Amino acid sequence: MHVEQRFLKYVSYWTTSDQGNITNGTVRIPSTDRQFELGKVLETELKDLGLEKVVLTDHCYVYGLLPATPGHEDKKVVGFISHMDTSPDFSGEMVKPQIIQNYDGEDVLLRESGEYLKVSDFPSLKDLKGRTLITTDGTTLLGADDKAGIAEIMTALEEIITSGQPHGDIWVGFTPDEEVGCGADLFDLNYFKADFAYTLDGAYEGEVAYENFNAASARFSIKGVNVHPGEAKDIMVNAALVACEIQSLLPPEETPAHTEGREGFYHLTDMHGDVASASLSYIVRDHDKTIFEARLKKLRTLEDEMNEKYGAGTVYLTITDSYSNMLEIIEKHPYTVEIAKKAISNVGLEPISCPVRGGTDGARLSFMGLPCPNLGTGGYGFHGPYEHITIEGMKTATQVIREIVKITAEEL
């Protein structure tokens, strides 16, 4: 099956994860049972390809092993990982892709919403001219994050098997709930016995990323005092106003809309409230560990200041660590990056490495003991209706996987 056929099949499954299933920092994994539907499909496909140790776990992790070809049993074991869920930021149900042959490099009408995928917003579209472009119809996200990665891994496996390409042991893993920060929580490294691995969860197909944000989520829970407004003087504490005050005390220039590269931010993702109670939810990010810790300290200071001003117990802050910058680990295993760069060069691209303004399962897995840089899938505009990818980009990413397997078999 061609990579684009697999991709279009996988995006038809509604696998959106749900941040709402997080309670006191704990997520029910998978956060949505619908992720099992794709998990079952992948389990069957891996078995049909002849992989061994294929399993779909009770928590919706899919694993499989392609055993080494004769004479390559002593080679390092490589793994490839992608996630099954799509972002809860935008609808992932009833995805209807648009396929545009010989794309002209201009703005694209997303036919159901009437919106346009604009070159002015996504300048990389110009580089996709002449390719076969796949977009959304404007009413959903596409699901290239990360079903493109899954399709590329599955296609590479099939091509390796049918071509008779020599290889060492190859593990593959597909995770749930990456988009809500929990994809690595129950990843079983006692079962997935790779020496190193790669997540396929990036953009440009010539990318190998090994730096990412230090990240945490933060939630302010605010308890107000609600009395009749006519009798409220020196009694009422309006929880909604306290929430507004907290937000006003954070630097307005340190948000995603005003930062780039390695610059960090406070991102207000959600707010609810009335006089009696309110809440603010943030994600906090920074590449620099010291600055990241200072950001968390700032939030704790705001909690103390609000309780001093309005009374003890008015504000309660919960901070939950999400992931750390994998650079700390990858620097100890530089061969993982060098192999990827060589593989990318071998397929005719110039490898690039950019700091990831986010995170991947690979960041967590690296700290769990599995060095795991991130590779591009060829997709762009993730998490919304402007998501897009090309068939050519997916084919190239598939070839990068095969080259990594080849280099590992020949040199490690």
**Active-site amino acid positions:** 85, 178
Write the CA distances from 111 to 124, 139, 181, 303, 322, integer angstroms.
Answer: 21, 9, 32, 47, 37
Please name the residue that has the structure tokens 């078999």: 409
Query: If DSSP codes are grouped into helix, strand and coil, which group holds residue 412?
Result: coil
Query: If DSSP codes are grouped into helix, strand and coil, which group holds residue 112?
Result: coil
- Are 18 and 31 in contact, with CB atoms under 8 Å apart? yes
- Are 127 and 365 in contact, with CB atoms under 8 Å apart? no
Angle at 410 between CA 408 and CA 411, to 5 degrees: 70
| One-character DSSP codes across 312-369 | TTSEEEEEEEEE--THHHHTT-THHHHHHHHHHHHTT---B---BSS--HHHHHHHTT
Write the CA distances from 404 to 195, 203, 317, integer angstroms.
Answer: 14, 18, 45
Contacts of 140 (CB under 8 A, 6+ apart): 90, 91, 92, 93, 94, 95, 96, 385
Please name the residue that has the structure tokens 């897009």: 388
Please name the residue that has the structure tokens 């997303």: 110
Q: Which two tokens stand for residue 226?
A: 């609600």
